[in-house]
Every structure is written in C-alpha cells, then in structure tokens.
Amino acid sequence: MHDGATKPRVLLVEDDRELAGMLAELLADEGYETDAAHDGQRGLHLGLTGRYDVMIIDRRLPVLDGLELLARLRAQAVTTRVLVLSALGELADRVGGLDAGADDYLVKPFEAEELLARLRALGRRDLEGAECLPLGAAALDLQRHEVVLPRGERITLSGREFELLRTLAQRPKAIHPRASLRTNVFADSTGESIVDTYVYYLRRKLGRDVVRTVHGLGYQLGAV
C-alpha cells in the first residue's frame, strides 16, 4: 500500500513499454514512486482517482490521445503539474501541448538528466520538491510524517492523518470539499464521516486551528 508515502508520486502514461520500464527504473532510483499506465484511458482513470505530484504524459497514446487526456484532466480540475513527452518537435505541437494545459514539454529522444531536471523544476514550482510544506509557523516534514513546531518539537502523524494534512497544505488557500478529500485521501471508503473523523484527529493532536471549517463547503488549512 502506501509504504513510501513520503516519496513524490509520479503518474507515467507512456505506451512504449520498454521506454516506460526504463523511465520507471530511473524515477525509482531518483526517489519517486511511480504508477504507470500504457494508454490514455487507463491514464485518465489513474489521474482522476490517484493523488500525484507530477504526471508525465506521452503525446501519442492509444485509445485516448495524450493531449486529449490532458484536456480531460484539466476539465476535471486536476491541477497537478504535467510534463508532456513528444516525438514531434515542431513548434505547432509544442504550442498545442502548452495550450492544452501542459506545464512543460520535452521532445524525444531526451537525456535522462534533462527529464529529471525538468521534473525537479516542476516539483519546485509546486513547493513539493522541498522536504517540508509550510504550515503557518510550523512545518510538515514530508519524509518523516511529522509536524515540526516552531520550537522544534515534533508530533508524528499516522499515514492517513499525514495524507489529509498534506493534501490541505499543498493548496493552503483552497477550500477542499469533503467529497474530494474523501476520494483523494480515503479512496472513497464507505463511511460518510471519515473525513470529519480525521479532521478531528488532527485537531486533537495539533490544536483546533490546524483545520478551518467552511460551513457547507469543506475544509481549509488553518494555522498551527
């Protein structure tokens, strides 16, 4: 399950299985946790249901084309950074990709190093390449699943507590509806109040103000 939950998670959508395998190995060495899909349909499914820090999407895909996939994801308000791979280097395609909502564009063949550099850049853009997410005056240690208080005290979180807080902290100003938290953090578990329960746990450990309730809309990150 979520063994290395602290690792940045990558969704790789690439139909060339040999290339996909190499990339997966490369990414694993680099400390990423990778899910792979070999066609657009599957990619869409994973992209909508999983939580990823970055996505790498090939432009040409069977079943559902890469740009089409990207557009669909964006239509569903998936804001994850996306790096599009393409065998076509022409300007037109490049523009098309960026138009469709890609954050970066890489032309095949490419150096492994360049891919990694671009991934890091995307991560940095998202403040996720960092080891910690800011939490008001405190910080969330992504490696250790701990909250570091200003005075240096550490409070360890369980896996789910961590996932929830991390999700909130990734977009600190956003209001996160229960439904999306339930989907992203709790894999649509059947209980209706699972999110409430974990908000309760977080508040019990970190104080009432970690999470703010926006009545009727959802939850938002507060301050510790």
Partner DNA sequence: GTTGCTTCTGAGCCTTTTCTGAGATCTCCG
Partner DNA sequence: CGGAGATCTCAGAAAAGGCTCAGAAGCAAC
| Contacting residues toward DNA, per CB under 7 A | 1, 156, 158-161, 178, 186-187, 189-194, 196-197, 199-200, 203-204, 208, 213-218
Q: How many residues does the chain have?
A: 224
Report if residue 151 touches its own copies, rule: CB under 8 A. Answer: no
Report the C-alpha gap between 166 and 46 in whole angstroms: 20
Q: Which residue type sits at 110?
A: F
146-148: strand order across its sheet = 132-135, 138-141, 146-148, 154-156
Pairing between β-strand 211-214 and β-strand 104-107 as defined by DSSP bridges? unpaired
Which of DNA, its own copies, none binds 190 (CB below 5-8 Å, type-dependent)? DNA
- Residue placing its CB nearer to DNA in the complex, 48 or 214: 214
Residue 109: asked if its preceding bond is cis (omega within 30°), the reply is yes
End-to-end C-alpha distance for the chain, whole angstroms: 29
- Residue placing its CB nearer to DNA in the complex, 3 or 111: 3
Report if residue 138 touches its own copies, rule: CB under 8 A. Answer: no
CB of 48 to its own copies, least distance (A): 5
- Residue placing its CB nearer to DNA in the complex, 28 or 186: 186
Which of DNA, its own copies, none binds 194 (CB below 5-8 Å, type-dependent)? DNA
| Longest CA span, the chain | 55
User: Under the rule (CB under 8 A), what is the footprint of its own copies?
Assistant: 2-6, 22, 25-26, 29, 41, 44-45, 48-49, 63-64, 68, 111-113, 143-145, 156, 158-159, 175, 177-179, 214-218
